[in-house]
Structure 1
Amino acid sequence: MTTTARQTDLDRATRAEPRLQAVINIVTALTALVRPTDTMCGGCVWDEIIKPLALPLIGWERGYQPAEAEDPDPDRMWRLINASDWAAGWQDAEKARTPATTDTEKWLRTSEAWDSVCGELIRRLNDADPANGHGVHHNRKTP
Structure 2
Amino acid sequence: MTEIPAKPLRPAEWLGGFTVLILCQLAGETLVQLLRLVLPGCVFPGPVAGMLLLLLILTRIGNRARPIIASADGLLGLLSLLFVPSAVGIMQYGDVILAWGGPLLLAVLGSTVLTLLVTVGVFLATDAWLARRRG
TM-score, normalised relative to structure 2: 0.29
* Larger RCO, structure (CA 8 Å, separation 6 or more): 1
Q: Which has the higher helix share?
A: 2
Larger radius of gyration: 2
